[in-house]
Amino acid sequence: MSPLLGASRQFSPLLTDLYQLTMLQSYLEYEMNDIAVFELFVRKLPQGRNFLVAAGLDQVLDYLENLHFSQEELGWLATRFPSHVITYLEQFRFEGDVHAMPEGTVFFPNEPIIRIIAPLPQAQLVESRIMNLMHFETLIASKAARSVLVAPDKLLVDFGMRRAHGAEAGLLAARASYLAGFSGSATVLAGAVFDVPLYGTMAHSYIQAHGDENAAFEHFARSHPQNTVLLIDTYDTEAAAIKVVALADTLASDQIDIHGVRLDSGDLAEHAKNVRQILDQGGLTKTTIFASGNIDEYRLHDLIASGSPINGFGIGTALDISSDAPSLDCAYKLQEYAGKPRRKRSEGKATWPGRKQVYRRYDAGNRLAGDIVALEKHDVQTGEPLIKLMMLAGRRIHEKISLHDIRKRTLAGYTRLSEQMSTLEPAPAYPVRISKALHVLADQLDAEMAEKN
Amino acid sequence: MSPLLGASRQFSPLLTDLYQLTMLQSYLEYEMNDIAVFELFVRKLPQGRNFLVAAGLDQVLDYLENLHFSQEELGWLATRFPSHVITYLEQFRFEGDVHAMPEGTVFFPNEPIIRIIAPLPQAQLVESRIMNLMHFETLIASKAARSVLVAPDKLLVDFGMRRAHGAEAGLLAARASYLAGFSGSATVLAGAVFDVPLYGTMAHSYIQAHGDENAAFEHFARSHPQNTVLLIDTYDTEAAAIKVVALADTLASDQIDIHGVRLDSGDLAEHAKNVRQILDQGGLTKTTIFASGNIDEYRLHDLIASGSPINGFGIGTALDISSDAPSLDCAYKLQEYAGKPRRKRSEGKATWPGRKQVYRRYDAGNRLAGDIVALEKHDVQTGEPLIKLMMLAGRRIHEKISLHDIRKRTLAGYTRLSEQMSTLEPAPAYPVRISKALHVLADQLDAEMAEKN
């Protein structure tokens, strides 16, 4: 793990819900230490979405491998919990198994994306943070995928850290959006920690501090001759574009090129058209136009559909908060305990019991044709099994895959989506079938429960 | 600072946007090291909102006091920036002044909530993280305030960590919602770090693992005789309430009371009514009813308006993601450099120049009657000045105020809101006037800029 992570990614294990600890105390007192199986899944797609993209697994595996309580944390807990709980937590290490869909996998409601198999107190304690990590990165990867599908040939950069929800959201949004196909991020820490490619230009304050665009542009170009991208909307966009052309002449003798200009306000399509014309007439045909400012996948779609000469986009708030769907309806549910399948029956929130596998079939054109959720054992279906063993007895079974490779795999996966699913328009619901054996098991458990409760 | 924070709150200073560093390099190369003044404000209220609540200042001051670059961070930066930048960052400490509204202050668009005064490279570098912190905590405090105003006499608990956007969002949502008047949180780390009161019961998995509600309820009561709150919706809510009554009889001989039950699904109003009746008929008149599950301030309002016998509420996702408005349109803008006021003129995003103060007037009933945004100097207005000095030359000027005291002050502030502003209905826009001197200054700068650019 990168030392740069240091104080950034290993959060205290106290980042959990209090009931995880109160339940843990009771599990210990009643010796409920048998193997529990929990699965995390999404109950339904956000309105208007056609699919989701799994992400966050790498952070979950890091968390599980490193989970332990410090002396300070144990000291604080000792003021609230009996000593047998503290003794247990002193030794605490996660020793379970994890199965999951690889990061970047397209998935649908009711399909488990991660399964935790561990003694009940362990599998329970990790619920809150696993949800917290998988929910957020999946949310952002799924949001980012929409822009990537709309603008596959454009430079797409995550600009959202400042309005992301706190530090970790800023960092992980950069990771999740890159994983889903973005070109990179402005968030420096994401470059340092995850090797996400970094992009950045200048803020309006840079221009304002100079008080004079000519001086500001020239200073920036001379400081950054390898990457001169100038922000031209502080006062009057077209007037600034004319200054850029003049500056290019001045700088030519020093072999400094102006690589790009950035627009950040007003009617981006109109300004881009005008600026392209000014740049081209000034001979700056290779100078690119980069746009930012309240862009989401819908504005992106419209700008591209209208043939706007914009080469790249900075997408900020809408991406990092997943503006149209800032949360997913996901759940981490007990599916088996002590060898026996379990089922929650709460109104509107019933779950499918047991350890499950998801099988995916493809049509003749190699596009997704339907999934089946089946029991993991003795219920083999045709299709590609999506859920794989990732961690055994608390240790990863594979070397870490580089984020660049995960991104490539994600992009390859998009080519197997139907055309309809690849647009921003809602497609017909993708078929996810529950296997017959799973139906039978659920009915059987319901009958047992009806007797008991 | 609590040692529990350890790895949790001091994020790397690399959590910034790349352009902060590229601009910094250029500022150093052109000796632009004069004093810069930046102010953070919100451009407009989210749809349907009447006011916002300032929060996050304490985290910003912590960040500024502790900001420095480690050897690892400098080493990474050295692969991307020239050595004079690294030399500068080796020595980097924030040495500026900070003025701000105290946390918990109600505020409105165009009112600065924090001002940073420091040499330009310093004031610029801290932009991204200051926005990231102030934006998020203000977002959550403002959201939480709505539930507090709707249900001032109910127990309100933050349940949102699992779907908050990452670790820090979970932690700081607990802080911000408590600051805004919530009773507490389920997030353990918020108790350890901020002394936020903690609440928690049990999950469905606890019941499912037992497979039998009777056993589960009794085990939990015996493990937690001081705080027995039982989750009763796993299979059949009313049937479970009847079991609770029977269990209370069994436990009476051991002097164990059942303090509460929790509902988490179905029609909460209907179930609460039935359950209250079952509990009362069983003699459990003191056993409270706690409800959770997709609650936001609107559902809260409706449940209370219908007279539902619910004593407390767990509010999760809707709070921690601020579901109706997951971001604020805020900006951190340069208002003065080298003693000269500055103004951004970008279309739709023009700013008010100079260092500013906000004056608040009250009516005869001590309710908010209107604010004036004026220049800090030589532009005194009637009313209470809201912006105060908080940090001088990089050090806090006051001892930290306890979160409990901030919360009390926030709650006192709500009593000065008009009745209309205290509801979920949109009230007429609160009057925020820009002083005459500020108008004059803006016009003067525009005229100068028109000549220059």
Q: In chain B, which residue's Cα lies nearest the Cα of A267?
A: B347
Q: Which of residues 317-336 of A touch B (CB under 8 A)?
A: 317, 321-323, 326-328, 330, 332-334
What is the number of domains present in chain B?
2
Contact A205 B124 (CB under 8 A): yes
Residues B10 and B137 in one domain: yes
pLDDT at residue B171 above 70?
yes
Residues A35 and A84 in one domain: yes
pLDDT-derived band of residue A10, with 50, 70 and 90 as boundaries?
A: low
Determine the pLDDT at residue B453: 63
pLDDT tens sequence across A418-435: 999 999 999 999 999 999
User: Which range has the worst mean pLDDT, A309-318, B192-201, B337-346?
Assistant: B337-346
pLDDT tens sequence across B101-157: 999 999 999 999 999 999 999 999 999 999 999 999 999 999 999 999 999 999 999
Of A188, A202, A220, the CB nearest to B16: A188
Residues B245 and B357 in one domain: no
* Residue B125, domain member (yes or no): yes
AA letter at B416: R
The minimum CA-CA distance between A350 and chain B, rounded to whole Å, is 9
The minimum CA-CA distance between A11 and chain B, rounded to whole Å, is 5
Residues A287 and A171 in one domain: yes
The domain containing residue B238 runs over which residues? 201-292
Average pLDDT of A247-256?
A: 96
Q: Which residue reads 């006037």 in tokens? A: B433
pLDDT at residue B363 above 50?
yes
Q: What is the CATH number of the domain that holds A307?
A: 3.20.20.70
Q: What is the CATH number of the domain that holds A75?
A: 3.20.140.10
Of A10, A26, A202, the CB nearest to B223: A26
Contacting residues for A113 by C-beta, under 8 A, at least 6 apart: A40, A41, A42, A54, A100, A101, A105, A107, A134, A138
pLDDT tens sequence across A131-153: 999 999 999 999 999 999 999 99
Q: Which of A283, A235, A305, A292 has its CA nearest to residue A261?
A: A292
Domain's final residue, options A304, A320, A336: A320
User: Over pLDDT 70: what percentage of chain B?
Assistant: 98
pLDDT-derived band of residue B317, with 50, 70 and 90 as boundaries?
A: very high
User: Which range has the worst mean pLDDT, A38-47, A443-452, B31-40, B364-373?
Assistant: A443-452
E runs forming strands in B168-259: 184-185, 229-231
Residues A383 and A314 in one domain: no
Determine the pLDDT at residue A453: 63
Average pLDDT of A425-452?
A: 92
Determine the pLDDT at residue A7: 42
Residues B396 and B281 in one domain: no
Determine the pLDDT at residue B348: 73
What is the distance between the alpha carbons of residues B240 and B225, in angstroms, rounded to a whole number? 19
Contact A224 B22 (CB under 8 A): yes
Residues A21 and A134 in one domain: yes
Contact B188 A453 (CB under 8 A): no
Interchain contact B380–A (C-beta under 8 A): no
Domain's final residue, options B292, B318, B336: B292
Interchain contact B233–A (C-beta under 8 A): yes
Contact A203 B321 (CB under 8 A): no
* Residue A146, domain member (yes or no): no
Residues A229 and A195 in one domain: yes
Interchain contact A18–B (C-beta under 8 A): yes
The minimum CA-CA distance between A6 and chain B, rounded to whole Å, is 7
Contact B200 A38 (CB under 8 A): no
Of B8, B135, B165, the CB nearest to A11: B8
Of B22, B72, B240, the CB nearest to A3: B72
Average pLDDT of B94-101?
A: 98
Residues A110 and A179 in one domain: no
Residues A310 and A374 in one domain: no
What is the distance between the alpha carbons of residues A440 and A445, in angstroms, rounded to a whole number? 9
Cα–Cα distance list, B375 to B106, B388, B391 (Å) = 20, 14, 20
Given a contact cutoff of 8 angstroms between Cβ atoms, the answer to whether B220 and A26 are in contact is: yes
* Residue A30, domain member (yes or no): yes
Q: In chain B, which residue's Cα lies nearest the Cα of A238?
A: B453
Determine the pLDDT at residue B21: 98
Average pLDDT of B383-395?
A: 98
Given a contact cutoff of 8 angstroms between Cβ atoms, the answer to whether B110 and B41 are in contact is: yes
Contact B16 A205 (CB under 8 A): no
Contact B235 A449 (CB under 8 A): yes
pLDDT-derived band of residue A452, with 50, 70 and 90 as boundaries?
A: confident
Q: What average pLDDT does the structure give for chain B?
A: 95
| Chain-centre distance for alpha carbon A370 | 24
The pair phi, psi for residue B389, each rounded to 5°, is -70, 130
* Residue A1, domain member (yes or no): no
Residues B338 and B443 in one domain: yes
pLDDT tens sequence across A303-315: 999 999 999 999 9
pLDDT at residue A42 above 50?
yes
pLDDT-derived band of residue A3, with 50, 70 and 90 as boundaries?
A: very low
Of B10, B220, B343, the CB nearest to A7: B10
The minimum CA-CA distance between A419 and chain B, rounded to whole Å, is 31
pLDDT at residue A216 above 70?
yes
To test the contact with chain B by mutation, choose from A1, A4, A9, A12 the residue with the greatest count of B C-beta atoms within 10 A, namely: A12
Interchain contact A344–B (C-beta under 8 A): yes
pLDDT-derived band of residue B10, with 50, 70 and 90 as boundaries?
A: low
* Residue B188, domain member (yes or no): no
- What ipTM goes with this model? 0.96
Determine the pLDDT at residue B3: 46
The alpha-carbon radius of gyration of chain B (Å, integer) is: 26
* Residue A107, domain member (yes or no): yes
The minimum CA-CA distance between B248 and chain A, rounded to whole Å, is 17
Average pLDDT of A316-332?
A: 97
pLDDT tens sequence across B254-300: 999 999 999 999 999 999 999 999 999 999 999 999 999 999 999 99
Q: Which residue reads 């805004």 in tokens? A: B180
On chain A, the residues whose CB falls within 8 A of the CB of B272 are none
To test the contact with chain A by mutation, choose from B15, B25, B189 the residue with the greatest count of A C-beta atoms within 10 A, namely: B15
Residues A232 and A158 in one domain: yes
* Residue B70, domain member (yes or no): yes
Average pLDDT of A364-392?
A: 97
pTM of the model: 0.97
Domain's final residue, options B292, B317, B347: B292
* Residue B40, domain member (yes or no): yes
Contact A161 B343 (CB under 8 A): no
